[in-house]
Amino acid sequence: MTQSSETSGQEVALIVGGGPGISSSCARLFAESGMRVAVAARNPDKPVLATLERAHGVHRYACDASDPAAVAPLFASVVQDLGTPRLVVHNIDGRVPGIFRKNILEADPAMALETVRNSAFSAFLTGQQAARHMLGNEPDANGARGTIVFTNASASLKGYPSSGAFAMACHAKSGLAQSMARELMPQGIHVANVPIDAAIGWTQEDGSRAHRLAGTTVDDNMADPDHIAETYLQLHRQHRSTWAFEVVLRPWVEKW
């Protein structure tokens, strides 16, 4: 018989999008904080996710978050296996490789549409299912039924040259989050949009922090996903009298 989060006394967290950066850092921190953690990815057999399962008891799920027919069953499975989530993180960049650094004349329309679908549309599907399930949660001592966090990028704040498709997707996700916050926060669901204005350098096997395109971190010039995860947990634990909607994170040396 499945033990629900209510009977186990443990909160359930679901992270949609699985990789070695923010998602892994969130999974580790949430598990270490006593939560039952699920991570959903198109490929749940990634070595980093298998390691999270072995080391932290994280549950892995296969899901294409841009497909409505996959997202609803994902939430149903998590609810059945672990309980209803009180914290959901949507952490999907969404860009397809061929769209990087393409100006408006070069950008392939099909790739632009896929980027929007992977990013903003998957955020809509995830947020919709999270809200449907969280509204059934009993309010906690803070009067909260749950928290939904959307990882975003500085492209949600400003459109860079040769980045039109990504800016379009990020602005759409930001608008979705703002609409959801105004709709759901009065019902006890905290919604937060977190633009990260930086390359994200995660810990490599040799102990250094690096990004696949930006190179090795020097003097904390890249965002540390472990500290991003701490911010997400803090958002989840905020008192409802001071719920933050938009928190922009950037390294101390970032030019903005």
**Residues 6 or more apart whose Cβ sits within 8 Å of residue 191:** 127, 147, 148, 149, 150, 177, 180, 181, 184, 185, 245
Q: How high is the pLDDT of residue 217?
A: 74
- For 150, phi then psi, to 5°, come to -110, 115
Q: How high is the pLDDT of residue 216?
A: 82
| Residue 154 in domain | yes
The parent domain of residue 208 ranges over 5-242
| Residue 145 in domain | yes
Total tally of structural domains belonging to the chain: 1
Query: What's the CATH number where 152 sits?
Result: 3.40.50.720
Q: Are 150 and 193 in contact (CB under 8 A)?
A: yes
H-run or E-run covering 22: helix 22-32
- Strands 209-211, 215-216: pairing kind: antiparallel
| Residue 247 in domain | no
Nearest to 243 by CA among 184, 196, 175, 155: 184
3-class DSSP state of 52: helix
Q: Are 175 and 137 in contact (CB under 8 A)?
A: no
Q: How high is the pLDDT of residue 2?
A: 41
Return the DSSP state at 147: E
Per-residue pLDDT 10s for the chain (256 aa) are 344 444 467 999 999 999 999 999 999 999 999 999 999 999 999 999 999 999 999 999 999 999 999 999 999 999 999 999 999 999 999 888 889 899 999 999 999 999 999 999 999 999 999 999 999 999 999 999 999 999 999 999 999 999 999 999 999 999 999 999 999 999 999 999 999 998 888 677 777 776 776 668 778 889 999 999 999 999 999 999 999 999 999 999 998 8
| Residue 250 in domain | no
Q: How high is the pLDDT of residue 202?
A: 66
| Residue 251 in domain | no
H-run or E-run covering 157: none
| Residue 255 in domain | no
CA–CA distance, 145 with 162 (Å, rounded to integer): 40
Q: How high is the pLDDT of residue 121?
A: 98
Q: Are 115 and 166 in contact (CB under 8 A)?
A: yes
| Residue 91 in domain | yes
| Residue 88 in domain | yes
